[in-house]
């Protein structure tokens, strides 16, 4: 047996992708120098939380966290883990799991890896995630529900088993939201996608939310957004979702996520949230900062969506990475997708895919529509965890 050495990586960037791809390809990884240079070295709480989540849904893996030599008295323990050794096991999945995502990052941060892992699990996953449902950094759960889940349809995952229920919402800094996610496990492989036709936008839908603020705010957002959309298309519906009481979480906030649906079923989304800043970046100046007004938010979101539409592609910029990973995981057929301008995140994803799955994409820009066509032959990752009957 060839002694398989762990893949050595360094730095904390693309932590999610690295961990997910390592798990899917069952390659052991070692990450060192996690923020070793900075003032606050080590893994962040949300990364540790992600590892905890991984621990919940998989089995027979091994996780080693090595501390630096810093004095433990001044820093909480999690901040000391600058070296991680991870040997993936089998993704088990399971029902009625629960995970507290913490208040450092939104639930969207955890949903993306979770959905990938869930597809390749032994049993379908149903999990309750608690934390911040909508924040500025991560895609909101609404976007996830309206766009990301539908993306999987292109890869042969039936929509029936996929579900995301928003039980209660929570905005930063205190969170308190709760979502219920169900992901089916695939039988053996995904299907290669041929998804290059972007089509034309035929309708715009959206959901606005407000927690612990006046429900009237939502109408103001919608009004502002419609003002812009109406110049393009009349079919615009943005639903309101006002939460109060326990379903409204522990902090005040409001936001909106809008989705443009094209004639070929592509979904382009944009979302924005206004709330008080996260626990990580709370400081004196953020104590009394001015929040964006609902009208500005509406205009802002509408502009963001139009920007996405102008960019073209079958998915918006936030979903490029996920799209590429799915393409690379599909069976050894040619997958072909078209996206707008490649985001830095997507480029890094492509590199990670090359490193872990040994899949390279043919990237062809299309000067006329200013889009990029990507083709790849998938790695044919199979769901090995699933039991044969």
Stretch that binds another protein, among 95-103, 159-167, 207-215, 331-339 (CB under 8 A): 331-339
As a whole number of angstroms, the distance between CA 382 and CA 330 comes to 9
Q: Which of residues 142-171 bind another protein (CB under 8 A)?
A: none
372 binds another protein (CB under 8 A): yes
Q: Which of residues 12-41 bind another protein (CB under 8 A)?
A: 12-17, 24-26, 33-35, 37-38
52 binds another protein (CB under 8 A): no
Q: Which is nearer to another protein, 146 or 196 (CB)?
A: 196
73 binds another protein (CB under 8 A): no
Structure-block tokens of residue 380: 């044919």
Q: Which of 54, 179, 306, 328 binds another protein (CB under 8 A)?
A: 306
Q: Which of residues 249-278 bind another protein (CB under 8 A)?
A: 263, 272, 274, 276-277
End-to-end CA distance of the chain: 30
For the CB of residue 162, give the shortest distance to another protein in the complex, in Å.
18
Strands (E), the chain: 7-10, 29-32, 58-59, 62-67, 81-87, 90-91, 94-100, 125-131, 163-168, 177-183, 194-195, 201-211, 236-243, 253-262, 267-275, 334-339, 361-366, 371-377
As a whole number of angstroms, the distance between CA 273 and CA 264 comes to 29
234 binds another protein (CB under 8 A): yes
Task: Say which residues have a Cβ less than 8 Å from residue 289's Cβ, sequence separation at least 6.
Answer: 277
307 binds another protein (CB under 8 A): yes
As a whole number of angstroms, the distance between CA 331 and CA 11 comes to 31
As a whole number of angstroms, the distance between CA 202 and CA 148 comes to 19
| Burial degree of 329 (CB within 10 A; 0-12, 13-18, 19+) | buried
110 binds another protein (CB under 8 A): no
Q: Which of residues 89-108 bind another protein (CB under 8 A)?
A: 89-90, 92, 108
Q: Which of 80, 107, 138, 193 binds another protein (CB under 8 A)?
A: 138
Q: Which of residues 183-212 bind another protein (CB under 8 A)?
A: 192, 194, 196-197, 200-202
Q: Which of 164, 319, 326, 339 binds another protein (CB under 8 A)?
A: 319
332 binds another protein (CB under 8 A): yes
User: What 8-state DSSP symbol labels residue 125?
Assistant: E
295 binds another protein (CB under 8 A): no
């Amino acid at each position: 047996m060839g002694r398989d050495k762990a893949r050595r990586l360094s730095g904390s960037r693309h932590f999610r992708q690295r961990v997910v791809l390592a798990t899917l390809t069952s390659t052991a990884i070692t990450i060192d120098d996690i923020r070793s240079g900075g003032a606050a070295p080590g893994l962040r709480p949300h990364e540790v939380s992600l590892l905890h989540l991984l621990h919940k849904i998989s089995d027979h893996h091994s996780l080693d966290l090595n501390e630096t030599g810093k004095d433990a008295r001044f820093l909480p323990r999690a901040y000391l883990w600058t070296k991680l050794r991870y040997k993936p096991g089998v993704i088990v999945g399971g029902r009625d799991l629960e995970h507290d995502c913490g208040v450092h990052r939104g639930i969207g941060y955890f949903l993306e890896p979770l959905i990938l892992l869930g597809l390749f699990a032994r049993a379908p996953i149903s999990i309750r995630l608690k934390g911040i449902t909508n924040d500025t950094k991560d895609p909101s759960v609404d976007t996830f529900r309206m766009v990301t889940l539908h993306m999987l349809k292109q890869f042969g995952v039936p929509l029936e088993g996929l579900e995301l229920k928003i039980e209660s919402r929570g905005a930063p800094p205190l969170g308190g939201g709760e979502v219920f996610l169900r992901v089916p496990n695939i039988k053996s492989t995904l299907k290669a996608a041929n998804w290059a036709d972007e089509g034309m936008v035929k309708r715009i839908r959206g959901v606005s939310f407000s927690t612990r603020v006046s429900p009237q705010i939502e109408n103001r957002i919608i009004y502002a957004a419609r003002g812009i959309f109406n110049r393009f298309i009349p079919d615009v519906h943005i639903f309101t979702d006002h939460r109060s009481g326990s379903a409204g979480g522990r902090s005040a906030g409001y936001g909106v996520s809008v989705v443009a649906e094209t004639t070929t079923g592509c979904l382009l989304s944009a979302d924005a949230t206004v709330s008080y800043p996260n626990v990580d970046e709370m400081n004196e100046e953020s104590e009394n900062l001015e929040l964006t007004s609902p009208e500005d938010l509406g205009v802002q979101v509408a502009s963001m969506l139009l920007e996405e539409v102008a960019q073209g592609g079958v998915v918006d910029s936030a979903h490029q990475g996920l799209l590429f990973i799915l393409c690379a995981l599909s069976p050894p057929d040619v997958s072909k997708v078209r996206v707008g301008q490649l985001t830095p995140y997507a480029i890094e994803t492509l590199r990670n895919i090359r490193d872990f799955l040994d899949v390279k994409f043919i990237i062809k820009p299309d000067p006329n529509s200013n889009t990029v066509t990507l083709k790849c032959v998938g790695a044919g990752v199979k769901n090995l965890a699933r039991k044969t009957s």
